[in-house]
Structure 1
Amino acid sequence: MALLGYARVSTIQQKLDIQISALKKAGVREDRIFTDKMTGKTDDRNGLQRLLARAERDDTIICTKMDRLGRNTADMIKIVDNCYKKGVSIRFLDNSLSTEGTMGKMIIQILAAVAEAERERILERTNEGRLAAKESGVKFGRKPHKSTDQAKAMISEGVPMKDVMERAGVSRATYFRLKKAV
């Protein structure tokens, strides 16, 4: 019966220190902590796969929060179910939930669905904000090249590509994008 830990952050810029410290405090040995620095949308994560391969009957996987293990309901259900079938329990420190027992497994699956719904709501709010910003005149994307107008005029006049690129200082890709727009 081993305690195994799992910590995940969404980007490589974020730090795992707080989660790892909490796992150690919960009794997980450092050499039994598995980590990932990538999105939780998928279960195709190297650290998670190594953890699941290492977990054996009567082991307990400890995570700080549910959303560290996964954000996608289907993946969470699959992970919880596979662990349950192997005799491996999962415990979350922040809310003291565990898959030990039938009720624990059911609660975890319900909360995984809630976590996925919250993620969808965040995406909806972000898109609504983006649309509102566009409607109020905020421009997204790259700023136009300083010589865009000059290059467009030259293209309209039929100036050869090489001359437009040299005199306006635009790249080949920019030339063709502008030519398509003219």
Structure 2
Amino acid sequence: MIYGYIRVSSDRQTVENQRFEINNFCEKNQMVIDRWLEETITGTKNVENRALGKLLNKMKKDDILICTELSRLGRNLLMIMGILNQCMSKEVKVWTIKDNYRLGNDINSKVLAFAFGLSAEIERNLISQRTKEALARKRAEGVILGRPKGRKSSKTKLTGQERKIKELLNNKVSYSAISRILKVHRLTITNFVKTNKLEVLKQ
């Protein structure tokens, strides 16, 4: 059996690019995917709690798992190595497209998998460290990061309702009644009118 595996970290990410790459690879190598597995989940979640874990338990000797790159399997060295070790012990092959690896049960595959996983882990740690250093440097320079403490967003539940509120006020509708109409607290109406200076027409 040949399995195509696709993983994205969130539903905002598209799976189509990964599917296209795998299909294109199979077409060039005269292969056909027997079963697809797609999941939207972070790569840091334990493989036992992922659909991939259930698939690995079912796979048999000489089955092939194809994905675009090893990082689709997991986001840290230990997880990737654990998955590859499980595949190798069952004599399941793991093929990746971007990395161009053909991982089997031989020592060369194990060395290559370890080298890739280690380099990926080091790179992630370096990126994290550079980010922390950059933030620390900005703090030392007096740069305020994020929204200033105590500062509220300029947008509220009533943003965009200014005209409607003014019309109600002009028709002498009370704040309490307006709050019920717009389904907010009366004080929210009061503060919004005051903040946005919604003047009432003089009769």
TM-score, scaled relative to structure 2? 0.64
Question: Is the contact between residue 66 and residue 92 of structure 1 (CA under 8 Å) also seen in structure 2?
Answer: yes
Q: Give the counterpart of 1:109 among 72, 90, 114.
A: 114
Question: Residues 4-83 of structure 1 correspond to what in structure 2 (within 5 A)?
Answer: 4-25=3-24, 26=26, 27-29=31-33, 32-44=35-47, 45-83=49-87
Question: Counterpart in 2 of 1:154?
Answer: none
Question: Is the contact between residue 62 and residue 92 of structure 1 (CA under 8 Å) also seen in structure 2?
Answer: yes
Secondary structure of the structure 1 residue equivalent to 2:136: helix
Distance (whole Å) between structure 2 residues aligned to residue 108 and residue 92 of structure 1: 11
AA at the equivalent of 1:15: T
**How many equivalent residue pairs?**
148
Offset of 1:97 from its aligned partner?
A: 0.8
CA spacing shift, 1:135–1:12, aligned 2, 3 Å: farther
Mark the structure with the bigger radius of gyration. 2
Distance (whole Å) between structure 2 residues aligned to residue 18 and residue 9 of structure 1: 11
Higher share in helix: 1
Question: Is the contact between residue 42 and residue 72 of structure 1 (CA under 8 Å) also seen in structure 2?
Answer: no
Offset of 1:28 from its aligned partner?
A: 4.7
Q: Point out where structure 2 has 5 or more consecutive residues left out of the alignment.
A: 153-186, 192-203
Question: Is the contact between residue 3 and residue 61 of structure 1 (CA under 8 Å) also seen in structure 2?
Answer: yes
RMSD: 2.4
Distance (whole Å) between structure 1 residues aligned to residue 32 and residue 38 of structure 2: 13
Question: Is the contact between residue 89 and residue 99 of structure 1 (CA under 8 Å) also seen in structure 2?
Answer: yes
Question: Counterpart in 2 of 1:130?
Answer: 135
Secondary structure of the structure 1 residue equivalent to 2:94: strand
AA at the equivalent of 2:94: I
TM-score, scaled relative to structure 1? 0.70
Distance (whole Å) between structure 1 residues aligned to residue 14 and residue 59 of structure 2: 25
CA spacing shift, 1:59–1:109, aligned 2, 3 Å: same
Secondary structure of the structure 2 residue equivalent to 1:61: strand
Offset of 1:41 from its aligned partner?
A: 2.7
Deviates more, 1:132-141 or 1:81-90: 132-141
AA at the equivalent of 2:129: E
Secondary structure of the structure 2 residue equivalent to 1:90: strand
